[in-house]
Structure 1
């Protein structure tokens, strides 16, 4: 009898705790909404006082403004929508439509709640003595606080089952810390009052609790058990990488030895770049090298200027990082292997470090032509834009063609060829690089990708497992005649 009552008692306790959380969050938000809507003076005075004090402190320290702005971007609509779309696509790849629907519905709720309540309340943004940031629209509630609470909260609930038990507390704490820092950054930048951020947090928690409970009811109606919240929304979902016992799931065999090989390869690549850069700056005449940017300058028109700007942006840090952040999660969802992701990550980390060190060591000046992008902080050799483009698209092409046999794998091979050419022509047209700078970028990419290919992807470990039901014959087995 005691055994039969235990599940009911646990369910009742959890339901009561969830009800208390929803009611508390809802009452807290409702109270703040009424106080702000009807201009309760003590709250308004506190909000304005905090805004003024923080503005005096933050505006006097530009690095603090940059840090707060960077943190604030983590709660922007572009970042949050991109995270949700990427997670939905990954879940659909893993054939988890129920979780994808949960993320979609919960995210749409956030998009509806924020503008609706801002229009209802109609509170203006803080007015401070020394503005350091600008926010559009009304102030209450904070869209960054509301959106980040909902998005990071629901992603935590969905992917909590992937995290090992001993790390789940840290995983939840990290998500909560990100949400708190985003809210505080909005107050520090002077674009929201304290009550705006608190309202966003409370409403976000309430919406997460409501949708999570609805998801549990959906599971119950489908005849599935209702797990503890500490297990995530759907613990049995097949969204984790390959099991640790699988040979293909080993991230990197003999990591210390491989790390030493990679370090040696990085050093040799840097040495080759430095030798080539030294020859270009001290031995080889620069006349023929300067002739190409001068020749391209004769074709400058407003239309070509704009097209070259687009081509140049395709190789800048933001574009390269965006493509990497999209490809790596999708590759992990498709193949459930960490090795391809590690290969791409190491490729880009090595590229940026090799570029920065080589540019600082060589110190080659830019071409003697009008530069459309103005003064650049690094030297000309090698081209960072071109090197990053070659490394990224070549690494992606290697990963895809090694695992895909369909015709569309040629799309990635084409991108690995076309994208570097477009970026190289754009950078030289804009007067930022010589042709030999592009040659240095190609040398960097060729050497570094070769190092990582032989140390990370090869060695016979990163292979697809045999299909289920298929048994490979031993090498020494001899087929028998019927």
Structure 2
């Protein structure tokens, strides 16, 4: 071997060490810079440095004058800002942590929970310590709660979306890693800028949130890597994700084959089924509207005789269990949990199509039939849709029946019958409450039942939600076998 060859080998041997040292130094410099930058901002805010205060107020006034006269801009900025609020970030962290626990990734779940909780504590503590008031602008378009420094939305979004990116990096490869990081960065920046444009934070508040969030993520990521090292695991570059070996468990549905064979044919079948279901609803709705049997108004009148303040309250609670917000919330919780447990998109597709079809069938049938509400006092006031069919009851029936169908085929323990019970109890409770409140006739309830029965039958034979149904343990074992084979 020549001297040149020896030098090449020597350079190759030192290269990984040099790269590690470079990454470590750059990471340390980034953390120090973020920490020092936040510390400097904190001192300037606490000392009320006049040039910074003038700059903050000038930017707030200019943006307020630019945004306030444009309602569309205000609505768009409020929508972006919502993605950084605690009402969105807290459920997001809780749901993802639960999904990670279901996939048996407790270290990542603990990391995400601790990082998010730490950001919340830092935000509230620093706000109380600094006590800075929020901007005062000529035309207020949004209002914030509590003190101003640092921006809680900016800090929370930086920490939560940053930590989620570190958790999910092992799933991405090549350009997708850069895309994932870029999407998170754009979202974090957009949320921070929206807080300034809405006039609820100064520029220095948002800069403080970004710097503190970056420092906190860096500290928790380093602590996580030390934890892995102490547990005897390798610590690859952070670009590979916090736990690269967890890629198989993080993948949404690694054990699933084709979702729907012949999707165009299936789509045509579903569309034909939707049209037939609408036709049956329209025919039945027209019949009961023209016939108007005596018991249809008689039942709401009879239920009205039992009205008390307490029953009015509980009927309102039952009625809310079938409104759009409750149905959407339950769907958004069930779908990711089902995906985490059974590693199949088919149950999720079944639920999504069931609820989308229910909504479109209800709206079109209500518009086509145009049935008036019962001739009693309406506790919910005037609603924009007609009486037939009941949207609350149809949505409740479709949701809980769909969940029961999915769970029964995949859960072998006794508690699966709880979901069958919910599929019966929840629609009955919503139906009684809606008639008690004077909003629907009994035949409107029958219309909701007809919609549910026809539409779920269509989806049962087209989507086949329980094809290749597996328990969570079977899906997990199959997914791990696929990852090992790959």
- Give the TM-score, by structure 1 length: 0.90
1: CA distance, partners of 2:33 / 2:72: 37
1: CA distance, partners of 2:294 / 2:61: 58
1:240 to 227, 231, 250: 250
1: CA distance, partners of 2:100 / 2:476: 22
- 2:436 maps to 429
2:90 to 53, 59, 81: 81
2:344 to 337, 345, 351: 337
Q: Which runs of 5+ in 2 are unaligned?
A: 1-9, 479-486
1:190-213 alpha-carbon deviations (Å, 9 max, x no partner):
222222122112211111111112
Are residue 51 (structure 1) and residue 60 (structure 2) matched? yes
Q: CA deviation at 1:102?
A: 0.8
Indicate the larger mover: 164-173 or 385-394. Answer: 164-173
2: CA distance, partners of 1:71 / 1:467: 36
- 1:224 maps to 233
Indicate the larger mover: 227-236 or 288-297. Answer: 288-297
Are residue 409 (structure 1) and residue 419 (structure 2) matched? no
- 1:99 maps to 108
1:15 to 15, 24, 28: 24
Are the counterparts in 2 of residues 339 and 462 from structure 1 also a CA contact under 8 Å? no
1: CA distance, partners of 2:269 / 2:176: 31
Root-mean-square deviation over aligned CA pairs:
2.3
Q: How many residues align?
A: 466
Cα distance, 1:10–1:350 mapped onto 2, change above 3 Å: farther
1: CA distance, partners of 2:137 / 2:87: 27
Q: CA deviation at 1:377?
A: 2.4
Q: CA deviation at 1:50?
A: 2.8
2: CA distance, partners of 1:54 / 1:467: 52
What pairs up with 1:336-415 in 2 under 5 angstroms?
336-415=343-422
Are the counterparts in 2 of residues 162 and 239 from structure 1 also a CA contact under 8 Å? no
- 1:35 maps to 44
Are residue 250 (structure 1) and residue 258 (structure 2) matched? yes
- 1:473 maps to none
1: CA distance, partners of 2:219 / 2:157: 16
Cα distance, 1:46–1:368 mapped onto 2, change above 3 Å: farther
Are the counterparts in 1 of residues 252 and 340 from structure 2 also a CA contact under 8 Å? no
2: CA distance, partners of 1:95 / 1:459: 24
Indicate the larger mover: 253-262 or 307-316. Answer: 253-262
Q: Which runs of 5+ in 1 are unaligned?
A: 470-482
Indicate the larger mover: 187-196 or 83-92. Answer: 187-196
Q: CA deviation at 1:109?
A: 0.8
Cα distance, 1:93–1:272 mapped onto 2, change above 3 Å: same
What SS is found at the alignment partner of 1:402? helix
- 1:4 maps to 13
2: CA distance, partners of 1:101 / 1:303: 43
1:268 to 267, 273, 276: 276
Cα distance, 1:71–1:372 mapped onto 2, change above 3 Å: farther
Going by fraction, where is helix more abundant, 1 or 2? Answer: 2
What SS is found at the alignment partner of 1:249? coil
Are the counterparts in 2 of residues 241 and 332 from structure 1 also a CA contact under 8 Å? no
- 1:136 maps to 145
Indicate the larger mover: 391-400 or 290-299. Answer: 290-299
1: CA distance, partners of 2:373 / 2:326: 23
Cα distance, 1:399–1:118 mapped onto 2, change above 3 Å: same
What SS is found at the alignment partner of 2:382? coil
- 1:24 maps to 33
